[in-house]
Amino acid sequence: MSVSSAQHPALINYPKQATFGRVLPKNKIYEHSGANTRLKDLFVEQVEQIVWQYKLAPETINLPAKPGVPEVQVFRVILKTGELSADVLKCIDGAVQFPIVFELEHEGKIKVIAAHKRPSEADASKWVVSDYFSTGWVPADSERSDMPLVLDLAGLYETQLQRLIPLAPRAHESFAALVERLEGVRAKQREIEKVRAKLAKEKQFNRKVEINAILRQLNNELEELSH
């Protein structure tokens, strides 16, 4: 089987009746978010076009809404370069008051990326956005998976995100707890990188022994978080 015909679980074959297909002007998005000059420049340098591809809502896919997930939007972002700053995604997420799943496209390849977005417990009019999780780049003509069988839009959204998360959920672990654990894994990995860099520069044997002990401890903690 060639790679292009392999099915990718995060690439979903959304129903035709959910097609929205509206181009969103970039300037409208960053004006709405009050973006600074640096962010506007990133939009101009990195983004060719933003298409609101699908609107997954009770009236389009016949799944009931749930608190925090009244609809899910799928945005196709066509890139000028293979890079997209997370700040650009955060800006779009900040401008649109619904959970969003992004499909990035560049030179015949596609990747799916999203953050867990939920209403703030302190202020329901504000959204809390987690880290972003994504697939790698795959051929844009990869076969899409069938729509997941779920009971409501919250179930659909969690399934979409679950397919981007490289950790298996633990028994009785809520989705929010899984996202938190993944953020913990990433933070621990960053910590390990810093300690490794420190170790590489250290000349004194005694200090090297100490740093190695810290590194072992951090790796154990990472192992614990990951499983």
pLDDT tens for 36-77 read 899 999 999 999 999 999 999 999 999 999 999 999 999 999
Residue spans per domain, the chain: 3-165, 178-226
Residue 7 in this model has a pLDDT that exceeds 70: no
Closest by CA position to 72, among listed 42, 88, 43, 93: 93
Q: What's the confidence (pLDDT) of residue 6?
A: 57
How far, in Å, CA of 56 to CA of 59, rounded? 8
Closest by CA position to 39, among listed 116, 92, 81: 92
Backbone angles phi and psi of 185, in degrees to 5: -60, -45
Among 21-35, 187-201, 204-218, whose mean pLDDT is lowest? 21-35
How far, in Å, CA of 147 to CA of 185, rounded? 29
**How buried is 84 (Cβ within 10 angstroms: 0-12 exposed, 13-18 middle, 19+ buried)?**
buried
pLDDT tens for 124-138 read 788 899 999 999 999
Q: What's the confidence (pLDDT) of residue 126?
A: 85
- Amino acid at position 206, single letter: N
- Amino acid at position 135, single letter: T
Write the DSSP string, 101-122: EEEEEETTEEEEEEEEEEE-SS
Residue 116 in this model has a pLDDT that exceeds 80: yes
- Claim: this prediction has a pTM higher than 0.75: yes
Q: What's the confidence (pLDDT) of residue 227?
A: 84
